[in-house]
Amino acid sequence: MTVVAFFADQPAWGRTLERLGVSPATHRLPSVSAETLAISMGAIADNPSFRQRARELQQIHRLCKPASDSSILDKRNI
């Protein structure tokens, strides 16, 4: 995944994806170019660790209980 941040919290989320190991870079819209995108896309295509890490995170996500669990909502009086 390559992030092109347009505004607001997108740069922060892009950096989070980098730290999680599923993105090689976050690009800001004013400075993004075809070359920088090609480099990021090439890194994703050439490095299987991005795909592997995404699969690991997918498995972790599946093991977590959903936020809509009624016991959570009951404790918050929602």
* pLDDT tens-digit map of 40-61: 999 999 999 999 999 999 999 8
User: Is pLDDT at 75 greater than 70 in this prediction?
Assistant: no
User: Is pLDDT at 78 greater than 70 in this prediction?
Assistant: no
User: Is pLDDT at 66 greater than 70 in this prediction?
Assistant: no
Q: What is the 3-state secondary structure (H, E, C) of the chain?
A: CCEEECCCCHHHHHHHHHHHCCCCCEEEHHHCCHHHHHHHHHHHHHCCHHHHHHHHHHHHHHHCCCCCCHHHHHHCCC
Average pLDDT, rounded, for the chain: 87
Q: Provide the domain count of the chain.
A: 1
Host domain of residue 47:
3-75
